[in-house]
Amino acid sequence: MAEQQPSTFIERLCSRDDSAFDELVDRYAGRCYGYFYRLCGNGEQSEEFVSELFVKLVEKIDTFDGGSFDNWLFTVASNLFRDHLRRKYRYKRLLDEVADQERKRQEEAVVDPRQEAVSDRLQWALEKLDKETAELIMLRYYSKVSFRELAQMRNEPIGTLLSKVHRGLKRLRVLMEDVSYE
Amino acid sequence: MSKKIENLDELIRRFVDDAEAETMAREIRRGDAMLDTFDSPEMCPEAADRIRRRLRQYRLRRHRRRQAIGWAGLAAAGAAAMVLLFVGLGQRPQKPVESLPLVQEVQPPPVEQPEMRPVDLHELPGVTLNLWEDVPYVEDQDFTAIKTELDDIATWIKRLGIMDNTLPDKPVINGETASQEDFKIDLTEFWKG
């Protein structure tokens, strides 16, 4: 995980150095994959999201105006996922539809050994949450940003975000302590 | 997964009272700790390779597309330059054209006026001061003869009294009056003088 942002790496990205883009994948693909996987619950689709995200980064790297690269990258990732949801479904219906489809797919599909490890209780509980709250919790978790930064990224009041994250985490814990999960 | 350090309690206290802030902060920390107990889904190395490959292909395509656009732009600029060059060579340098007024008064070209001086009318060709000079000459003698003859006729007519309606009509012979009969005789003998 990239704990620091060496300016040379960012500069190499901005100057479109080939090796810098390979390094970008090495540094961030895992985290981004985890973020997308926790939201969609599908390895193949998550890989597609990560590919699309890096393509967008190549396109938009010129718009990066300094600051935290992680924040910028996860803002793009969050927008990508939300755009995907908007494109695919009507905003009102998408939450239930996505959850239902994923549940059915998981029930019917043969379990991929690669995915077996992550077909865990957390994944199950996240699917019970509404997509917006789940996305917010995962965005905060994987991007490792503070609430202040999260508020800037989402362009929402910090109090509202605190409340949403608090409620979501509480609900997750209740769900995972629920005996109905098997 | 490590988190950025932030003073959560202090942040929450800005929105709720102390007791509630403490509870909220505790629950958020417990939630974060719970998330940390789960392994993050990991991408297999093949997937990472596929992403790298796709990224390289995309960048290559993008580079070629930009190059093609650059060449196309260059070609277009060259063509435009050629057109301008041909157009420029085809035109002679011209004076700047002054804009004409919307309504232009049409005037005849100026005519040079001859120098004015007093002219004697006799010098002008074909000008006749006395119109009668052109009438052919008539001999006074002929005119007198005609006049005399006409006077004779008038006297003769007067003597005969043909035109005098006051005279009583003579007896009608063969449907004609005596006066008409006499006039007829006179006419037939008119040639005798």
pLDDT digits over A116-157, tens only? Answer: 445 688 888 998 898 889 999 999 999 999 999 999 999 999
What per-residue confidence (pLDDT) applies to A15?
85
Rg of chain A taking only CA atoms, in angstroms: 17
Contact B15 A46 (CB under 8 A): no
Q: Which tokens is B133 given?
A: 């000079």
Which residue range(s) make up the domain with A162? 7-177
**Chain B residues with CB-CB distance to A169 below 8 A:** 27-28, 30-32, 34
| Lowest mean pLDDT across A169-178, B27-36, B44-53, B138-147 | B138-147
* Of A29, A37, A176, Cβ closest to residue B34: A176
Contact A47 B42 (CB under 8 A): no
Would A1 be classed as within a structural domain?
no
What per-residue confidence (pLDDT) applies to B94?
61
What per-residue confidence (pLDDT) applies to A47?
94
pLDDT greater than 70 at residue B144: yes
Instruction: Identify the band that residue A9 occupies on the pLDDT scale cut at 50, 70 and 90.
Output: confident
CA B72 to chain A, closest CA, distance in angstroms equals 21
The answer, for B2 touching chain A at a CB cutoff of 8 Å, is: yes
What does the pLDDT average to over B149-159?
Answer: 89
Higher pLDDT, B8 or A49: A49
CA dihedral angle for residue A68, residue A71, residue A74, residue A80, rounded to 10 degrees:
-100
| B18-49 as b/e: b if 16+ CB within 10 A | eeebeebbebbeebbebbeebebbbbeeebbe
CB A35 within 8 A of CB A138: yes
DSSP character at residue B16 = S
- Closest-approach residue (CA) in chain A for B47: A47
The answer, for B12 touching chain A at a CB cutoff of 8 Å, is: yes
What per-residue confidence (pLDDT) applies to B165?
54
The answer, for B104 touching chain A at a CB cutoff of 8 Å, is: no
What does the pLDDT average to over A101-112?
Answer: 65
Q: What percent of chain A has pLDDT over 70?
A: 81
Residue of A54, A139, A167 to mutate, testing the B interface (most B Cβ within 10 Å of its Cβ): A54
CA A47 to chain B, closest CA, distance in angstroms equals 7
Contact B4 A145 (CB under 8 A): yes
Mean of all residue pLDDT scores within chain A = 83
Entry field: residues in chain A: 182
Residue of B1, B4, B59 to mutate, testing the A interface (most A Cβ within 10 Å of its Cβ): B4
Higher pLDDT, B62 or A88: B62
What per-residue confidence (pLDDT) applies to A37?
95
CB A134 within 8 A of CB A167: no
Contact A173 B31 (CB under 8 A): yes
Q: What percent of chain B has pLDDT over 90?
A: 12
CATH number of the CATH domain containing A61: 1.10.1740.10
Number of domains in chain A: 1
Angle ∠(A147,A150,A155) on CA atoms, nearest 5? 125
Q: Which tokens is A111 given?
A: 């379990």
Higher pLDDT, A31 or B86: A31
What per-residue confidence (pLDDT) applies to A159?
93
What per-residue confidence (pLDDT) applies to B65?
87
- C-alpha span between B149 and B53 (Å, rounded): 145
What per-residue confidence (pLDDT) applies to A113?
45
**ipTM beyond 0.85?**
no
What pLDDT, in 10s, does the model give residues B59-87? 888 888 888 888 888 888 888 888 888 88
- C-alpha span between B29 and B17 (Å, rounded): 18
Contact B28 A141 (CB under 8 A): no
Would A56 be classed as within a structural domain?
yes
What per-residue confidence (pLDDT) applies to B5?
55
